[in-house]
Amino acid sequence: MKQAGFHKLVPVIDEVTDEYAEKWGFGLKIKEFIQRGLFIGAKSKEL
């Protein structure tokens, strides 16, 4: 991401939803092993 020009990267990590966990077929117990994440960053404007 840094090579693409992004900086000030901040990861946001959260639990998956119950619906998503159920789709894995292992019940809600799978939530102990999987998470969802998102990176938020800034990119400078090139003039």
Specify the pTM: 0.54
Number of domains in the chain: 1
- pLDDT score for 2: 84
Residue 5 backbone class (left: φ over 0; alpha: ψ -120 to 50; beta: rest):
left
Helix (H) or strand (E) holding 9: strand 6-15
Condensed to tens digits (0 to 9), the pLDDT of residues 5-16 reads: 899 999 999 999
Condensed to tens digits (0 to 9), the pLDDT of residues 20-47 reads: 999 888 888 999 999 999 999 999 877 5
CA dist 24 and 7 (Å) reads 34
Domain of 19 in residue numbering reads as 2-43
Structure tokens at 38: 């998102």
